[in-house]
Every structure is written in C-alpha cells, then in structure tokens.
Amino acid sequence: MSDDLMFDIAVVGAGPAGLAFTRSLTGSGLSVALIEGQPEAALRDPGFDGREIALTHHSIRLLKSLGAWDRVPAGEISDLREARVLDGGSAFALTFGAEGADRLGVLIPNHLIRRALFEIVEGQAGVSLMAGRKVANCAVEPAAPRGRVVLDDGATIRAKLIVAADSRFSGVRNQLGVGVEMNRLGRSMMVCRMRHDQAHGHVATEWFDHGQTVALLPVADAEERVSSVVLTLAAPAIAGLMSLTPEAFAVEIERRMQRRLTGLELVGTRHAYPLATTWSRRFAGEGFALIGDAAVGMHPVTAHGFNLGLRGQETLAKVVRSARVGDIGSGRLLARYEREHRLASWPLYRGTNALVRLFTEETAPARLARGVALRAGQATAPFKAVVRKMLTA
C-alpha cells in the first residue's frame, strides 16, 4: 500500500457530470483523482458530436455558479421560446410557451459545455487529472480508506469515496456489483444540423410520426434557418441514412418530414447513437456513489437527462461538503444523496418511459390515446404550468 496513490475522492469519468461534480468541490480542501479514458487533448477541445443540449433555468444558474457559463461563446447559445408536440399527420399541436419568463430555456452544443467545464476544472487546486487511463478494476473494501481503483497501467488509487460518472454503460457500476435495469431499445438516434427555407423562430418541435420520431431544435443562427434534426428509427434504418450522400440525405429527410421544412441542406457531420435507458438499483452505498448517466440513463425524448445529471452531482457535492471533517464515504451520509436524487429522478424516468411507449406504439388504441392525451394536455392549464415550471424554475 506504500506505493498507492492516496486521495479523498476518485471520480471516474470526465464527462459533464464528473467535471461539474469536481468543480462543485472547489474550496472544500478535498483531494480528487479525476480518471478519464480519453486523452487530455480530447477533453480540452472536444469535437462536435451533433448533440444540442436543452438546458433548464436551474442548469443555467448552476453553470453560472460554477464559472462555466461565461466560457460558452454567446453566439452559440440559442433561446428556446416555445416547444410543440405533434402526433402523426394531425395538424394539432400541444404547445408550451415561456409565459412570464423570457424563454423556456436554451440550447447549447454539447461539446461546448464539455469544453467550458474542463476549462474551469483544469488547474483546480487539489485535482489530479488522469487522462488516457482506464479502470482495470475497482472495489470497496472494509478497511479505510475503503475505495480501491486499479488503473490499466497498474497504478492503484485509494480513496474514501469512489464516484462513478462513466456513462449509462458504467464499468465501475458493474464492478461494484450494483444492478441495473437496462432497456436496449433496438433503435438509434441520428443527429445533424440542417439549413432550411423557413425561420425556426426559436421553437422546438417533437413530432411522433408513425414509425419514427423527429425533433427539430433551433440552432443559434442570424437568419434562424438552421436546426438540429434528431431522427429516431430502427438501428438498420439509421445506418442506411448515415451512408447516403449529403444530397440524397437531404432529399430523404425532407420526404420523411413531409415537407414541413423545405430546401433542406446538410450542415456539417452526421452522428448516430444507439438508444438505451438505464436505472441503477442503487445510487450510493458504503464508499461509493453514482452520478449522471451511471445513475440514471434517460431516453432523450424529453431532454431531461443532461439536466438531471447536473442536478444529481450538485446534490452529491452538497452532501459530501456537509460532512466537513466527517467520513465522506459513510453509507449513512451517502444515503441522503440517494434518497434525494431518487426522489427527483423516479417520476421523470418512469414518466418519460411511459410517454415513449404511448407515442411509439402503432396500435389503433394507442393512436387514439395519443390524440386524446395531446388535446387534454393542451386544455389543462395546471398540467402545462407544471411542465413550464420544470423548465423555468
């Protein structure tokens, strides 16, 4: 053990949740090992990955408090002023406006948020970045400091607390013996930016068409004529779309959208991601905690996943900081994090999954139920107020 590297906390995963959690500990006096398989260059300047993140007002305030907000170029931030939900060929739309607020939220490219978070963590006192290194195995042991993380180069890290932030397919979660409810949906999400004739007006549209789901997200553009297109289909169909030439791809997407947008032109690269939802059986235990997608991997349809990940790391950081000179790996202490984050996550996770089932089943009763649900939602002011508050509170 004399050659082991000693830290208070070992964070595995330098994605948004892991980076935000590390930053949330600034000034705490705790030493942190931040372990990430990607090379440091990829963290410092991540490439465009196609994903536009819809941030709630709470997430905006959090990024500001962490010091990351001002590091995102203002010209890359797109206001989200209205959201619409469409079903099949019906012209009816369930709409959510900002009402008293100036906007429902904002949309920012994922890679710019990641870059901003890395910039504020890089050089943070007490943080040792271990990039380009992967976890070979990890465990929580009875003797202090409990956590043992062995890297692929043979180095061993001992920590009072292991924090898994390594994606919904978390290897750390598996090695710690935490069970997970996983639903591999057999579908993929393709994302890309496209220019079009019509102005988007900073309106986001979610269209549940028969056999496919299409989201149109407004991208920051002086003419308001560039949107992020998010298309969900069976994995083989997405693979076929990815192989088309840009010209043929634009024709096919215009056809799939039934010319709701015209003059489509691919802007930049296309990216495809397999869809799976995950719910960890435990969020914490003696000597460990799970945050971000390692705790809850949401379906992207309601755009809650990223925001939930930021909220979860904030909750864990507050619990850890409250220990002061106490045992930050105590199961009793970490149970507070688990209770609060499960309470915040459970309704969103189950509600989102129910929504996906309702709007993707193709039976006649399901189609009828969708139309009824949309019209009931539009006519129910309390329901719309609750959804609006989730975004603007």
Q: Which residues of the chain have pLDDT under 70?
A: 1-2, 366, 373-374, 377, 379, 381-393
- Domain containing 221 equals 80-103+185-275+361-392
Q: Identify the sign of the CA torsion 333, 335, 336, 341.
A: positive
Give the CATH number, domain containing residue 255: 3.30.9.10
Shared domain for 216 and 312, answered yes or no, is: no
pLDDT of residue 384: 53
Shared domain for 55 and 195, answered yes or no, is: no
pLDDT of residue 232: 95
Shared domain for 281 and 268, answered yes or no, is: no
* pTM given for the model: 0.93
User: Beta strands of the chain (E only): which ranges?
Assistant: 5-12, 32-36, 52-55, 78-80, 82-87, 93-97, 105-109, 127-131, 135-140, 147-151, 156-164, 180-195, 203-209, 212-218, 226-234, 265-280, 284-285, 288-290, 296-297
Give the CATH number, domain containing residue 178: 3.50.50.60
pLDDT of residue 14: 98
Shared domain for 350 and 292, answered yes or no, is: yes
pLDDT of residue 352: 87
DSSP character string of 27-81: TS---EEEEESS-HHHHHSPPP-S-EEEE-HHHHHHHHHHT-GGGS-GGG-EEE-
pLDDT of residue 364: 72
pLDDT of residue 40: 97
pLDDT of residue 383: 56
Shared domain for 238 and 379, answered yes or no, is: yes
Question: For the chain, first and last CA: distance in Å?
Answer: 48
Split into its structural domains, the chain has a count of 2
- Selection from 45, 49, 51 nearest residue 107 by Cα: 51
pLDDT of residue 393: 57
